[in-house]
Amino acid sequence: MTDHPLSKDPTPDPAEFNAFFPSPFSLGQFTSPTVTIEGADYAAPYTGSRKILMIAADERYLPTDTGKLFSTGNHPVETLLPMYHLHKAGFRFEVATVSGRSAKFEFWAMPVEQPEITGLHAEYLPQFLAPKNLAEIADSLDETSDYLAVFIPGGHGALIGLPESKAVARVLDWAMANDRHIISLCHGPAALVAAGRGKASPFKGYSIAAFPDAVDRQTPDIGYMPGGLTWFFGADLAAQGVTIVNSDVTGATHQDRKVITGDSPFASNALGKLAARALLDEVAKA
């Protein structure tokens, strides 16, 4: 008796016409009920009141070049594993979305047997369901604002709305002008495109790790998405003067000044450690 190979056909999402989840083959290759959590013990966690502003994706359906929709959102591992490290290091989050509507998640990628991750999701669920409106936060920012950093999770949901958002641009401009950390990974850096629309990007001359366009062009072949992307954020960032340092996904992280990035879900643990240490060092100087 032989095992049947997993299908590479995307799985229909019954909640929406012409929408699809990743194929069984893709889920078998790139998701797991558990994740590796390493190095999350911080001897002297932060005890202050300053927070991290999370800009979460609030749209689920990404149009592809076939006309079919990819059922996406914030990737759970790329959201919650970096959060876990920062949470253990004493930092708390304020969740915001462009619309003020709920943050969306790719629950097909949730590590459901990892209580540290599912527990953190439950703790922040009230904020994920009722986040702040990002434009209102952007209106209130000045040099005295107490956000230590801006965190933009990964997931293809970051490609929907964030790169065009004036509120995202204003928050990123504020962070760069006021020497705050910016933390992101995988497709999250697509949001940085917003800061360079119609003007010179504050990220010009920076280098980052992110999900490469070349790999994104391959994902339809294994049914991860029901079609190809209609645009590629790496090309847009390159046109704005930003260099992506990786050409593959290996779990790499990268820090250029106060911009801390990672290439994929495989970088989530290392990114969390890197960001937690950077912010602990920052508050120790205050």
Catalytically active residues are 186
Residues 68 and 18: beta-carbon distance below 8 Å = yes
d(CA 98, CA 171): 11
Given a contact cutoff of 8 angstroms between Cβ atoms, the answer to whether 214 and 184 are in contact is: no
Both tokens of 197, joined, read: 């629309």
Residues whose CB is less than 8 angstroms from the CB of residue 171 and which lie 6 or more positions away in sequence, other chains included:
53, 55, 134, 137, 138, 141, 150
Pick the closest to residue 67 from 137, 19, 11 (CA basis).
19
Per-position DSSP letters for 38-101, written without gaps between them: -S---SS---SS-EEEEE-----EEE-TTS-EEE--B-HHHHHHHHHHHHHTT-EEEEEESSSS
CA atoms within 13 A on the CB side of 17: 1
- 265-270 LR contacts (CB < 8 Å, sep 24+): 265/30, 265/75, 265/77, 265/78, 265/109, 265/154, 265/186, 267/185, 267/186, 267/209, 268/35, 268/77, 268/78, 268/81, 268/82, 268/185, 269/35, 269/36, 269/37, 269/38, 269/39, 269/81, 269/85
Please provide the size of the chain in residues: 286
